[in-house]
Amino acid sequence: MTLRLASFGVRGFVGDSLTPRVAMDYASAFGTFVDGGRVLLGRDTRYSSPMLHSAVVASLLSCGCEVVDFGICPTPVLQFSVRPYGAAGAISITGGHNQMGWNALTLLGSDGSFLDPDVGEALLGTFHATDFLFRDAMNIGARKGVSDYFPPYLKALSALVDREAIRRAGFTVLMDPVGGAGCPFLDDFSNEFGLKLVAINQEPSGYLARDPEPRPRTARQMASFIRHVKGHVGFVLSSDMGRVSLVTDTGEPLSEEFTLPLLVRSLLKQRVGPVVTNCCTSRMVDDVAAAAGAPLLKTPVGQAFVAARMTDEQARVGGEGSGSVALPEFSRGFDGFLAMALVLEMMARSGESLAGLVQSLPRYHMVKKSAVSGSRTAYLVLDQFLQEIGPFGAESVDLTDGVRLDWEDGWLHARVSHTEQLIRVLSEARTREAAERRAEEALRLIGQGL
């Protein structure tokens, strides 16, 4: 397994590419980057997280950092807390949407965002050079554990939405945090908003009971019985609480692509402003933004790019088709708790069911495929693909992140994955046949170069 390095973190397979030594060096580079300042630290529930946590604590202390240890903490809550705690940054130890065996260190800046890609390049240089700031015995840092960080977050979230409207609606809500970092906080969230909670996989055992990436196939368990418990909505969450997909009251497991356009439409009705997303999110977002007269700005794939652009453009809302949503007035992070609150507010204010709200969205068909490719060859393969796309007859070609082709009825995007040894191919069109045909042809051309 190859280690995946980025300006905002490191990801790998534990015991193979991601070892304690790698974690210590990366944390030391971050401690050096913040010049021994205050650092918040949180982790998820994976079996490997306590080990990596120990390595990170030791490294940060050696750089003279004051480590404020949140223990098990969802990444978006950690992101929200950076500013109130006056921290120079934070590290979240979590595999997020990756399967068991994987884990990662995600680095956050002083504003709670993923490190800006340009700024993070300097940190990567420090990591590779192993030129770390080590303090002597009289000047090493100190660790302080805290456990009361969720109430301030929940209070701020409650003030952001129409709490009373949600409470009056008396929703029965299903939530599946896949045994991850959100498990200890679902009850408090539900009590705050007057929800009747039906929890699935809420035991934080370290074992992930399903694929932690929110999508229709991981929502089947919830979809099979939501009607039997008379649920109004179901939320399928990633292990770090950064992503969420939805299940309707009728038992339909929605694609993760529906989360962002649903919320963009609702938020733009309240106040119009720029919308930021990546270059392979469903065209539903394009249509919703255009209908509201809102500028739509697109970035390379990744929370760091979206967050940086949201800041630059003073965006109203941002997110990705992975089921990720961020509201800059609240936090710079992709936040599953925020997404749930906004969905519940949307339903409470409109008086409509989730199934009814989804029906009024423009519909497209998206196909997601991939080809295995090592990082050393993937970019060469994409370059070759770019030279051979003539037969596609695309109306436009965009190279913001990989290769994107656009037609009047849809688009196709091929890019190198940041988290796995894959070339990802996404195709969306008004008909499934067109989306499938283009995706298969793209895979055929890409396969010729592998």
pLDDT tens column, 422-437: 899 999 999 999 999 9
How many whole angstroms separate alpha carbon 114 and alpha carbon 96?
A: 14
The 10s digit of each residue's pLDDT in 85-100 is 999 999 999 999 988 8
User: Domain 151-251 belongs to what topology?
Assistant: Alpha-D-Glucose-1,6-Bisphosphate; Chain A, domain 3 (3.40.120)
Same fold, 4-147 and 151-251: yes
Of 432, 380, 404, nearest to 301 (Cα)?
A: 404
pLDDT of residue 391: 78
Q: Are the C-beta atoms of 113 and 304 separated by less than 8 Å?
A: yes
Give the CB-side neighbour count of residue 64, counting CA atoms within 13 A.
14
Q: Which helix (H) or strand (E) holds 363?
A: none
Which pairing describes strands 296-299 and 102-108: parallel, antiparallel, or unpaired? unpaired
Cα distances from 216 to residues 213, 223, 234, 418, 431, in angstroms, run 10, 9, 12, 22, 19
The 10s digit of each residue's pLDDT in 293-318 is 999 999 999 998 999 999 999 999 99
**CB-based burial, 59-74: b 16+ in 10 Å, e otherwise:** bbbbbbbbbbbbebbb
Q: What does the block give as tokens for 11? A: 């990801």
- Mean pLDDT calculated for residue range 41-59: 97
Mean pLDDT of the chain: 94
Q: Are the C-beta atoms of 347 and 362 separated by less than 8 Å?
A: no
User: Domain 365-449 belongs to what topology?
Assistant: TATA-Binding Protein (3.30.310)
SS (H, E, C) 3-45: CEEECCEEEEEECCCECHHHHHHHHHHHHHHCCCCEEEEEECC
Rg (CA), the chain: 21
pLDDT > 80? residue 7: no
Count how many residues are written for the chain. Answer: 450
pLDDT > 60? residue 28: yes
How many whole angstroms separate alpha carbon 139 and alpha carbon 146?
A: 22
How many whole angstroms separate alpha carbon 405 and alpha carbon 415?
A: 12
The 10s digit of each residue's pLDDT in 186-197 is 999 999 999 999
Cα distances from 279 to residues 49, 305, 321, 427, in angstroms, run 32, 11, 10, 12
How many whole angstroms separate alpha carbon 248 and alpha carbon 315?
A: 29
Cα distances from 207 to residues 14, 178, 283, in angstroms, run 15, 9, 36
Q: How many CB atoms lie within 10 A of CB 400?
A: 16
Domain boundaries, the chain: 4-147, 151-251, 365-449
pTM over cut 0.75: yes
Residues in a beta bridge with 245: 236
pLDDT of residue 205: 83
- Mean pLDDT calculated for residue range 114-140: 90
What is the separation, in whole angstroms, between the first and last Cα of the chain?
18
Least confident of 23-27, 125-129, 342-346: 125-129
pLDDT > 60? residue 332: yes
How many whole angstroms separate alpha carbon 111 and alpha carbon 109?
A: 5
Considering the segment(s) 4-147 as one domain, its CATH architecture is 3-Layer(aba) Sandwich (3.40)
Of 325, 268, 320, 324, nearest to 291 (Cα)?
A: 268
Q: Percentage of the chain surpassing pLDDT 90?
A: 87
- Mean pLDDT calculated for residue range 415-420: 82
Of 15, 91, 88, 83, nearest to 59 (Cα)?
A: 91
Q: What does the block give as tokens for 417? A: 């994955």
